[in-house]
Chain A
Amino acid sequence: MTTTTRSRSPYPYWFYVPAAVIYAVLFLLPTFASFYFSLTRWSLFDYKYIGLENFLSFFQEPALVKGFVNTLIYAAVTSGLKVLLGLPLAMLLTSRIIARGYLRSVVFFPVLVSTIGVGITFTALMNPEHGLINETLSAIGIEGPGWLVDPRYALISVALVDVWKGVGLATLIYIAGIVSIPQEYFEAARCDGADGWGSFRHIVLPLARPATATVIILSLIGGLRSFDLIWAMTRGGPGFTSDVIASVIYKQYQAGFYGLSTAGNVVLFLAVTAIVVPLFWFLNRKEVEQ
């Protein structure tokens, strides 16, 4: 195919106009407006240009350092566990087992449930005095921790619920990756005397790499901007101990510091970009080299 034939599209360019208008009005305009408002002190009724002061005070925000560290922990824990649990689950659910279709839907089901609903349900289950989890533990003689109210465990408890809710999607992506591996490879490996572990190590793991990359990228982005589950379960508490960047930003917005919270969103946008773009490039490059 030559370049001349490619440039002559059968459709005129103004076909793009409706989509472009919607994109510009609903995405580009607010995005650039937010870059501007992040440089103002904004009260909804009026605004005043103050330069980079919002960014300065956002970075001086006492909860921010904690929020940054927590966000990274949360993103790493959730995406790590989703890979570690998703791959074995996918292996299990692609093998010949009884009720495979049923088990697949059981694993996927939590993905379909509303995050806020999951958060509220688990808040009740994790109640230290009356929650089902600690009551079950006490029946076998273990005194369970205050999952969500103990500053040491609050963030990890929420992360575990996030994994419970999100592992189904990771499993689904892995299942798609594994079933797309041609059966011939497995047959050839069996002829060469490979055992189950050998074919997992040398066939599934390398060939499911695109699936791993997708799972890591998706859950890392999800983890970095995670908000709804944390807000439903702890509101960043107790105190500031489970605050993440998004909850710090939301609290600024709640307090009526609209310029400051917009600046926080710009920072979050840049931070997510700075982490995800190189990672994406790294994971995809490896794929091409192989």
Chain B
Amino acid sequence: MFMVSRRRIAALAAVAVGAWVVSACSPGDLGSSDKDSQATTLTFLVDNSDPTVKTAQGLVNAFTAKNPTIKITVETRPQGSDGDNVVKTRLATGDMSDIFWYNSGSLFQALKPEQNLATITDLSSAGDIDAAFKTTVSANGQLYGVPAGGATGGGILYNKAIYSQLSLQVPKTWADFMANNAKIKAAGIAPVIQSYQDSWTSQLFVLADFHNVSAAQPGWAGRYTANQAKYATTPAAMRGFQHLQEVHDADYLNKDFASLKFEQGLKALADGKGAHYPMLTFAVGTIAQQSPDKIKDIGFFAQPGDDASKYGLTVWEPAGIYVAKKTNGAKLDAAKKFLAFVASKEGCDAQAKAFTPSGPFLVKGCTLPADVPGAIKDMQPYFDGGNNSPALEFLSPIKGPSLEQITVEVGSGIRKADSAAELYDQDVKKQAQQLGLPGW
């Protein structure tokens, strides 16, 4: 009896010590300096979506081929708000990877950059980065990130084969869009695809309408941040919710909108089961992968508003790649070298090679490869013509967390547009208070 329990204690102790040894030694430490004093190993945390992982790996491969003394290990985390919590928790506990990929704009600001990130204002290629992007990864005049991937357009992906078959024109106003929808429905095709099983996809009609809001009401974002403008009391801002209600009330949605998932929605568009899919252009790369023979049928146009003369595109800034504050010494130098590479022509080319870009790169000298899908080329006129505006989340730190549930309700006919706008105004209040903004 005594022997047994002593053995047990010994076994327990061995397990405990083993666990302690394992936990004290993170993968980043292995082989960093002891045996191979030349090599520096960095860890790089990215979200686990296919485009991000492929782009990150492509960047790392191109960079380490050029810099054999630096090794970079790509780690993944969940997407969406679960991923936000992973990033925040790891930063708060000092357990962050050396470099990481994360949203720019309002989500970046919520990371308390001054406290948690290393500034890269002195980066050699900082001058080549697009100025508008820099404001979305800066705090108190200090730069913290470089652009990961290209700009993304928010609008409507459409099936060009259906358009030419029914001889339709790309609409410049919402009324034209609805007229097209009526003809498409008469031809027995679902005019608008929605995929509420992935509820984030329901927000596009509201978010991608923001160019129309700022065209009608310049400076609205600033007043919105200062608690002086509301969705429910600004007719132009409410239009997005109304559009969503209109397509539902007119019965323009695919029959299985409530149970469809994002990838299935893209497939339905490529296969011509639906004509329009309100979406961000990063989805084009996914279509190119899952339906390579149909990608030539996919086009893109900005979400039309009421006034054809103010027609333009709502643009999402790329995510950023940042360095955690705890990274120092040789690792910090290596990390900055990597970031400088990302923000260079070579970096852009490596990204474009790894995965279909979602839109133009925001680094001087970078160009899109000639073979990008047509839907991505469709974005270029909005950049050349200057008729584009950043999405609201890059102009204001406030984005309510429940928008996707609210838009699912509107698109499913559970809630009306005016009630949804009011509910969203309430939702936003919590975010503003959490950020400690003045006026709330």
Q: Which residues of A does B touch, CB under 8 Å?
A: 41, 43-46, 48, 57, 60, 62-63, 127-129, 146, 148-151, 235-241, 251-257, 260
Contacts and interface: CB of A to CB of B under 8 A. Distances in A.
A151 B85 contact: no
Nearest to A151: B414
Contacts of B284: none
Interface of B: 81-82, 84-85, 88-89, 91-92, 110, 112, 115-116, 196-197, 199, 256, 258-259, 401-402, 405-406, 408-409, 412, 414-415, 423, 426-427, 429-431, 433-434, 436
Contacts of B414: 151, 238-239, 241
CB-CB nearest 7 A-B residue pairs: A255-B401, A239-B409, A149-B258, A254-B81, A44-B92, A45-B112, A239-B408
A237 B286 CA distance: 26
A46 B435 CA distance: 11
Contact of B115 (A45, A241, A251): A45
Contact of A149 (B116, B259, B401, B436): B259
Contacts of A237: 196, 199, 405, 408
Given A62-B423, A238-B258, A41 B84 contact: no
Contacts of B406: 239
A230 B64 CA distance: 45
Contacts of A150: 258
Contact of A127 (B199, B259, B423): B259
Given A44-B88, A239-B405, A62 B426 contact: yes
Nearest to B85: A254
A157 B292 CA distance: 38
A256 B434 contact: yes
B85 A253 contact: yes
A129 B402 contact: no
B84 A256 contact: yes
Contacts of A239: 405-406, 408-409, 412, 414-415
B402 A45 contact: no
A145 B196 CA distance: 17
A251 B85 contact: no
Contacts of B116: 45
Nearest to B110: A256
B85 A238 contact: no
A44 B433 CA distance: 15
A149 B115 CA distance: 43
